[in-house]
Amino acid sequence: MTTALTAVLLTALTACGSGGGNAADDGKITMGFAQVGAESGWRTANTKSVQESAKSAGIELKFSDAQQKQENQIKAIRSYIQQKVDVIAFSPVVETGWDTVLLEAKRAKIPVILTDRAIDSDDTSLYETFLGSDFIDEGKKAAQWLVENSSGPTNVVELQGTTGAAPAIDRKEGFEDVIRSKPDIRIVASQTGDFTRSGGKQVMEAFLKSQPDIDVVYAHNDDMGLGAIEAIKAAGKKPGVDIKIITVDAVKDGMTALAGGEINFIVECNPLLGPQLMDLAKKVVDGEEVPERVVTEETTFTQDQAKTALPDRKY
């Protein structure tokens, strides 16, 4: 073997041996985190949790905001691969279309952690673990409350999250699963408000014009519910009374509206995933076994429960 060829092979082997990252070189873990955006109060709390937890765990964080665009997240992941980070974590904007870029990460031997949202792929070897809520269960809890707190024909309008996003797909599915056995409860209109307050307001304004008889709003997050409240008030109706409102998240603004009687029920979705994410990252980089799925524990809030919980609410 020529000296030059030996040198090339040695360089390649060294690159493989270091796991593609630099933890082995300097003992410090670098994480590339590709965030969805800043679309909601939930997302802001989630970003803060990730940034603060990285700092206290001594993990160097490279952070990017995809502004709710999948192509931006893919670009960010590719740049983390090029920078040879030790671990990549991301919260996928939508469920599908990740196999190619995640295969690139796998080939570069950079482990990937899904956080908050899952992907739809047959190849589970593309990521180490998925940390986040059970969105189907959240949809079920929302519907269960409605089943227990409604009587007679009930017309529901649904404000869906971002089209193609796991929480939008699953919260719809869970809700529909439960109301299927209650023919009196009908979803009369359903449209995406993109998880934003302005989106929720706009869609609700349109619903109020096209639907003569709305009893309930089911919003896939607090922000869209808060937007719907503005539209309902502008239409001369009383949110929480003339039209009941159910949302998901339980961020401070949502809880304040719940305690004030303008929302009727909130299903919690916990954004404080940072500490668990950093623990998982350390384990994955150290080559330790981690569970395939880590489900976040969550509760629900009635108006009275919101009044009690609000003073200590961290986000």
Q: Which residues bind ligand AHR (CB under 6 A)?
A: 39-40, 42-43, 116-117, 167, 195, 221, 248-249, 269
Q: Tell me 20's DSSP state.
A: T
- What span, in angstroms and rounded, lies between the C-alpha atoms of 185 and 162? 24
Nearest to 111 by CA among 50, 15, 30, 54: 30
Contact 56, 274 (CB under 8 A): no
Q: Which is nearer to ligand AHR, 53 or 196 (CB)?
A: 196
Q: Which is nearer to ligand AHR, 85 or 168 (CB)?
A: 168
- What span, in angstroms and rounded, lies between the C-alpha atoms of 10 and 3? 11
Q: Which is nearer to ligand AHR, 35 or 154 (CB)?
A: 35
Q: Which is nearer to ligand AHR, 21 or 271 (CB)?
A: 271
Q: Closest approach of Cβ 282 to ligand AHR, in Å?
A: 24
Q: Closest approach of Cβ 184 to ligand AHR, in Å?
A: 28
Q: Which is nearer to ligand AHR, 248 or 306 (CB)?
A: 248
Contact 178, 199 (CB under 8 A): no
Q: Closest approach of Cβ 283 to ligand AHR, in Å?
A: 23
Q: Closest approach of Cβ 271 to ligand AHR, in Å?
A: 7
Contacts for 240 with CB less than 8 Å, ≥ 6 apart: 257, 261, 262, 263, 264
Contacts for 226 with CB less than 8 Å, ≥ 6 apart: 197, 200, 253, 254, 257
Q: Closest approach of Cβ 269 to ligand AHR, in Å?
A: 5
- What span, in angstroms and rounded, lies between the C-alpha atoms of 177 and 165? 18
Q: Closest approach of Cβ 129 to ligand AHR, in Å?
A: 17
Question: Each residue of 209-230: b (16+ CB within 10 Å) or e?
Answer: eeeeebbbbbbbbbbbbbbbbb
Q: Which is nearer to ligand AHR, 104 or 230 (CB)?
A: 230
